[in-house]
Structure 1
């Protein structure tokens, strides 16, 4: 049961981080088109909340390396989102945080896969 739960959280984390990263990279390009789209940092906050939940579940049973990557990456994401919400300044930290989240979850997934085989 624990093996599948851990894999589920890693897959959820990888998926959420990848979708968030794609959203952060593509959405600014869509705002250039005359479609009437505006950026809403609440969407970023929703992705970050999912990621925070997953990180709490994963860091309890992961290595120091994986925990550090995930916590630092999530910190970068939250700093970027909160700066955008409260100061209306867009920081590129969110991109580095998103990449770090994908890398951290992939490392954790591979470590668990290696331990269980």
Structure 2
């Protein structure tokens, strides 16, 4: 049961981080087109909540390196989102945080896979 739960949180985290990263990279290009789209930081906030949930479950059972990568990455994401919400200033830290989240979840997935074999 523990193995399945950990895999679920890793897959949730990887998926959320990947979708968020794609959203952050593609959406600015779409706003150039005359489609009437505008950026809404509340979408980023939804991704951040999913990521925080997955990270909080994973860091309880992972090693210190994986916990540090995920925590730093999530912190970068939150700083970027909150600066945009409250200061109306876009920081590019969200890209590094998203990449770090994907790397951290992949590291955790491989670490658990190695432990269970």
Q: CA RMSD in A?
A: 0.4
Q: Who is 1:35 aligned against?
A: 35
Number of aligned residue pairs: give it: 117
Q: Distance in 2 between matches of 1:114 and 1:7?
A: 13
Q: Who is 1:45 aligned against?
A: 45
Q: Who is 2:56 aligned against?
A: 56
4+ runs deviating over 6 angstroms:
none
The 5-angstrom pairing of residues 1-12 of structure 1 reads 1-12=1-12
- Give unpaired runs (5+ residues) of structure 2: none
- How far has the Cα of 1:56 moved from its partner? 0.7
The reply to whether residue 76 of structure 1 matches residue 76 of structure 2 is yes
- How far has the Cα of 1:72 moved from its partner? 0.3
Report the TM-score when normalising by structure 1: 0.99
Q: Distance in 1 between matches of 2:78 and 2:67?
A: 16
